[in-house]
Amino acid sequence: MQGQHLTQFLISEQRRVGGTGELTLLLTDIAGACKGIGHEVNRGALAGNLDSIGSHENIQGEVQKKLDVLSDEIFVNSLSWTGHLAGMASEEHDEIIPIPEGYPRGKYLICFDPLDGSSNIEVNLSIGTIFSVLLAPNDNPTAEDFLQPGTQQVAAGFCIYGPTTILILTTGNGVNGFTLDRNVGEFILTHPNITIPEDTSEFAINMSNHRFWEAPMRRYVDECVAGKSGGREKDFNMRWLASMVAEVYRVLMRGGLFTYPMDEKLKTKGGRLRLLYEANPMSFIVEQAGGMASTGRERILDIQPVSVHQRVPVILGSKNEVARLVAYHLEG
């Protein structure tokens, strides 16, 4: 059913499963935070939001831009007082973020990347926010309590700030997309029951790392580049935006394969993308839409995390192409 406001949709789902309403309220608060971030993204250079913060780096060793810090502040300030969370973990913080004294604590944990793809800020390409919701084992969580496999996620989503602002959401019952109607300030259901085609002729990868990839990855990409001339049944197109939210959104809309594989430069780090607040929520979304997500050797959602900022290789998208690439990895 199209035309539903996000809150209407969430309440309908809550009634269907007999929920208490706590998750509905949390997801509504997350949507509000995304509206705030989207507003600052749209203001861009008019508000000085595109500047870098000197040489300051976050825990990931990445130079922070003003919009990175501002997005993180908006997310934390929007959620810390609501009473739905017991703790938070952000890409921009070394340690987990406790709920301030004086505020009630809820039964959920959230892991988030407040501004994915921020290297694209100054060139006006799509960026976004990614989040993962888990159950909290207690109301005073430690970092270890966040180390839950992706199969334990209660909800996951991302908001993409592009020509339109779109919120993609799953609570484990399929994937739906909501477009922000700025005239009324509401997210409206515009993409119900998103399904990823099983086959694709499109892949997204940073081709400049070709020489550093493992042999299975080089084999797969070389075959795609050769297309019909190299033995595949079709020719392929390649895409790369350096923004995971944009790449995954394209996969959801028309199929495709997105990968940031292991390479020689990343071995000591374990991979490029962070498990808890990038790989896990995106894998949950992709699987709920009928796709597949893997490191090449194991299902991402089955990984037992060992640290909040753990990194992993990521291969996700249309099921048949991901399965082919996984088979190449398992062959050795």
- The answer to the question of whether 229 is labelled as a binding residue is no
Query: Domain of 99: which CATH number?
Result: 3.30.540.10
290 carries a ligand binding annotation: no
Domain boundary among 162, 191, 220: 191
Residues 212 and 178 in one domain: no
Domain ranges, residue 61? 6-191
How many domains does the chain divide into?
Answer: 2
214 is in an annotated binding site: no
113 is annotated as contributing to ligand binding: yes
Does 119 share its domain with 206? Answer: no
Residue 106 lies in a domain: yes
Query: CA-CA distance, 252 to 191, in Å (whole number)?
Result: 10
57 and 126 together in one domain: yes
Residue 73 in marked binding region = no
Asked whether the predicted pLDDT for residue 211 surpasses 50, the reply is yes
Q: 228 and 296: one domain? A: yes
Residue showing tokens 């935006």: 241
- Could you tell me if residue 1 is inside a domain? no
Domain CATH number, residue 216: 3.40.190.80
Q: Is 90 annotated as a binding residue?
A: no
Q: Which of 145, 163, 191 is the last residue of a domain?
A: 191
Supply the pTM of this predicted model.
Answer: 0.95
The pLDDT of residue 60 is 60
Judgement on whether residues 219 and 311 belong to the same structural domain of the protein: yes
Query: Is 91 marked within a binding site?
Result: yes
Domain boundary (142, 168, 191) is at: 191
Q: Report which of 208, 212, 200 is spatially closest to residue 237, judged by C-alpha positions.
A: 200
Does a structural domain hold residue 109?
yes
Binding site annotation covers 271? no
Average pLDDT, integer, range 12-19: 89
Structure tokens at 203: 């892949």
Q: What is the pLDDT of residues 112-157, one digit of tens each?
A: 999 999 888 888 889 999 999 999 999 999 999 999 999 999 999 9
| Whether residues 151 and 65 fall in one domain | yes
Which residues are CB-contacts of 214 (< 8 A; sequence separation ≥ 6)? Answer: 261, 262, 263, 296, 329
Terminal CA-CA length for the chain:
46
Decide: 134 and 109 in contact? Cβ < 8 Å: yes
pLDDT digit string (tens) for 180-200?
999 999 999 999 999 999 999
What integer pLDDT is reported at residue 1 of this predicted model? 43
How high is the mean pLDDT of the chain?
94
Does the annotation flag 48 for ligand binding?
no
Burial of 1 (0-12, 13-18, 19+ CB in 10 A): exposed
